[in-house]
Amino acid sequence: MGEEDVITDGRKARGQRRRAEIIDATLTIVRRDGAAGVTHRTVAKEAGIPTSLSTYYFATLDDLLVAALTSVAENYTARIRGIIDGRDDKLRGLAELIAESAGPGRDRALAERELSTMAARRPALRPVARRWRENVAELGGHCTDDPEAIASLVATSDGLCTAVLLDDMPADVEHIEAVLRRAIGIA
């Protein structure tokens, strides 16, 4: 590896760090002010950088919002993948993940929910916004081969996530699990 490669790798690493900082600033704004509060100017201010740097990394607001939603979606994908690959009781694992939205995972869940809802009006966000539903459907496929039961599980999971965020109080994992089991038709 030559000196030029080291310099290029260093620049690339700095660019990736800067990009991550901008995404984190975007998520902070979504959590605090809602998705409507996200502009290149507000993100740059939150990140402590010039606005031109925000637009350098993310040319459009949709690019920035897609990156922020992707960050959240990747986290949920990894969590659900862990449930699928590492748990015998997959519905219990999903219930625990949904319940986290009422506690330590509330800010992230709220940001994901708001950005996902925004996808109804912003087509660029739709592919990423669908990941939660696709991941829950995959998990459901490990519990049943009935497509209607899987669709019911996906819809129920969406509704439970929204309810947990709206209730703004500790979530009952046992209740969530029971509702998921009923949705998928497992006693």
CATH number for the domain spanning 140: value is 1.10.357.10
- Averaged over successive runs of 10 residues, the pLDDT of the chain (187 residues) comes to 61 87 93 90 95 94 90 89 92 94 82 85 88 94 96 96 84 95 91
- Other CB atoms within a 10 A radius of the CB of residue 181 amount to 17
With H, G, I as helix, E, B as strand and everything else as coil, classify residue 162.
Answer: helix
pLDDT at 22: 95
Is the CB of residue 65 less than 8 Å from the CB of residue 38?
Answer: yes
Same domain, yes or no, for 49 and 99? Answer: no
Number of domains forming the structure of the chain: 2
Domain of 159, in residue numbers:
62-186
Same domain, yes or no, for 88 and 49? Answer: no
Is the CB of residue 54 less than 8 Å from the CB of residue 47?
Answer: yes
pLDDT at 12: 81
pLDDT at 7: 56
Same domain, yes or no, for 95 and 179? Answer: yes
pLDDT at 63: 92
Closest CA to 32 of 24, 22, 21, 20: 24
Same domain, yes or no, for 118 and 105? Answer: yes
